[in-house]
């Protein structure tokens, strides 16, 4: 009998992830694809939006993978598909070694206990007609985990843990501030003691002073419960602060995946480089001297009709002829790192031209 070793990853994103992880991954996503058909119009074919095309990564307990990208890059769809709030068209999702990609709805409920979500806008994701305490108790009831006095105690403990008061259990979401509502959203996600939390722009709607409170809370909870976070955000500084590793997405694909420090010290993909250069820096600079902003030309192209070859070539300052013709694969680029660029990847086809 041959030993049952895990199959070698076909994908550099997964390979790089596994390299970077000390532990066995709690969440593994391989070749995930989600397409949205467009309604066909009066003049024929509607086409397809390739929201997520072939995304792979792994995530370990106690670790945060940041997913960054601009609007339309597919990061939100990625999060929802991983949660199976949206059904994937291809690829697989393994949670704690168990394939949940095709679990039927009935079995999924139990499977989902281990993976929970925190949303950007806590107000629209909380039932306004339920008291705050009932919102956190609901998942416990659905999963039959606690009842009566025990339930109330568990909810109260959760409230305390996220920095809400016992009295606030009887309030309604509209009576809380934005920051308190996001704490409530976190409490609800934590109620079932999940291993993985998908957090989609969890602090983007909050004022900066409150944002810091919630980011610190997420960090403390991670340390305490060894939570794994898939942290989706457009804000690079926030991602740098919370993540251990970062995946940069552009038009449905991961273009660079790397340990945080490597990525921020020396971005490989020209898109990562441009993103970093575009972030306004809140630090003093000498009077009269303005920073030269590295300007990326043009807009993000439409995901309905993405450019040929490398989707970034229309805006890329170092594009070569091959970039227009051939889609670059995600290639290994050092320990725990992968990049999809003909010019910058160590094994890239236009490497010599660099």
Partner 1 sequence: MNSPPQAQAEDRAGQGEPLLAVRDLTVRFRSGGDRVRAVNGVSFEVRPGETLAVVGESGSGKSVTALSILRLLPGRNAEIGGSVRLLGEELTAASEARMREIRGDEISMIFQEPMTSLDPVMTVGRQIAEAIEVHQGLGREAAFQAAVAALDDVRVPEPARRAKQYPFQLSGGLRQRVMIAMAMSCRPKVLIADEPTTALDVTIQAQILNLMDELREKTGTAIILITHDLGVVAEMADRVAVMYAGRVVERASAEDLFARPRHPYTLGLLGSVPKLGSSLEGGAGRLQEIRGVVPSLREDIVGCAFAPRCPLATERCRREAPPLETRAPGHLSACWEAARLEAEHA
User: Which residues contact partner 1 (rule: CB under 8 A)?
Assistant: 70-71, 177, 179-180, 207-213, 215-216, 219, 234-238, 240-241, 260-261, 264-265, 274-287, 290-291, 293-296, 299-300
Cβ burial, residue 42 (10 Å; 0-12/13-18/19+) = exposed
Q: How far is the CB of 137 from partner 1 (least distance, A)?
A: 25
Closer CB to partner 1, residue 148 or residue 298? 298
Distance CA 31, CA 92 (A): 7
Q: Which is nearer to partner 1, 126 or 239 (CB)?
A: 239
- Smallest distance, partner 1 to C-beta of residue 284, A: 4
Instruction: Indicate the residue among 131 and 204 with the shorter CB distance to partner 1.
Output: 204
Smallest distance, Å, CB 140 to partner 1?
A: 28
Least CB distance to partner 1 at residue 39 (A): 17
Per DSSP, the residues of 46-102 read --EEEEEEEEEEEE-TT-EEEEE--TTSSHHHHHHHHTTSS--SEEEEEETTEE-TT
In the bound state with partner 1, the residue whose beta carbon lies nearer, of 94 and 225, is 225
Residue 281 or 352 with smaller CB distance to partner 1: 281
Shortest reach from residue 175's CB to partner 1, in Å = 13
Give the containing element (helix H, strand E) for 112.
helix 105-112
Between 193 and 216, CB nearer to partner 1: 216
User: Minimal distance in Å, beta carbon 232 to partner 1?
Assistant: 15
Minimum distance of partner 1 from residue 179's CB (angstroms):
7
> For the stretch 288-320, what's the b/e string if a residue is b when 16 or more beta carbons lie within 10 angstroms of its beta carbon?
eeeeeeeebeeebbebeebbebbbbbbbbeebb
129/283 with CB nearer partner 1:
283
Tell me the HSE value of 34 on the side-chain side, using a 13 A CA sphere.
26
- Order of strands across the sheet that contains 228-233: 115-118, 196-200, 228-233, 64-68, 245-250, 253-259, 338-339, 331-332
Nearer to partner 1, 115 or 275 (CB): 275
* DSSP at 303: T
Least distance between partner 1 and beta carbon 234 (Å): 7
Helices (DSSP H) in 193-265: which residue ranges?
208-225, 236-242, 260-265
Q: How far is CA 242 from CA 20, 59, 62, 148, 251, in A?
A: 17, 14, 12, 37, 24
d(CA 35, CA 37): 6
93 strand-pairing partners: 29
CA distance 189 to 255: 30
């Amino acid at each position: 009998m041959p030993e049952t070793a895990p199959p070698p990853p076909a994908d550099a994103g997964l390979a790089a992830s596994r390299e970077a992880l000390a532990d066995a991954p709690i969440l593994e996503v391989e070749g995930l694809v989600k397409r949205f058909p467009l309604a066909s119009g009066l003049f024929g074919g509607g086409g397809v939006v390739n929201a997520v095309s072939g995304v792979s990564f792994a995530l370990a307990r106690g670790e945060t993978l940041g997913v960054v990208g601009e609007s339309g890059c597919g990061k939100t769809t990625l999060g929802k598909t991983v949660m199976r709030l949206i059904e994937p068209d291809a690829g697989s999702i393994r949670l704690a070694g168990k394939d949940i990609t095709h679990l039927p709805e009935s079995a999924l409920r139990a499977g989902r206990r281990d993976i929970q979500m925190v949303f950007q806008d806590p107000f629209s994701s909380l039932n306004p007609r339920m008291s705050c305490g009932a919102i956190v108790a609901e998942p416990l009831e659905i999963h039959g985990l606690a009842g009566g006095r025990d339930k109330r105690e568990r909810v109260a403990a959760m409230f305390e843990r996220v920095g809400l008061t016992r009295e606030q259990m009887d309030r309604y979401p509209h009576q809380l501030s934005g920051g308190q509502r996001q704490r409530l959203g976190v409490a609800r996600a934590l109620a079932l003691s999940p291993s993985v939390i998908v957090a989609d722009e969890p602090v983007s709607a909050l004022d900066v002073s409150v944002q810091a409170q919630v980011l610190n809370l997420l960090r403390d909870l991670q340390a305490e419960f060894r939570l794994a976070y898939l942290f989706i955000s457009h804000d690079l500084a926030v991602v740098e602060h919370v993540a251990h590793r970062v995946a940069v997405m552009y038009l449905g694909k991961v273009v660079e995946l790397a340990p945080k420090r490597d990525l921020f010290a020396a971005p490989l993909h020209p898109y990562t480089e441009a993103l970093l250069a575009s972030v306004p820096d809140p630090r003093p600079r000498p009077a009269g001297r303005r920073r030269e902003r590295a300007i990326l030309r043009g807009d993000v192209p439409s995901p309905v009709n993405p450019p040929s070859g490398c989707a970034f070539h229309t805006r890329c300052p170092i594009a070569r002829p091959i970039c227009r013709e051939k889609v670059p694969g995600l290639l290994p680029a050092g320990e725990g790192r992968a990049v999809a660029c003909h010019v910058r990847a160590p094994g890239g086809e236009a490497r010599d031209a660099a």
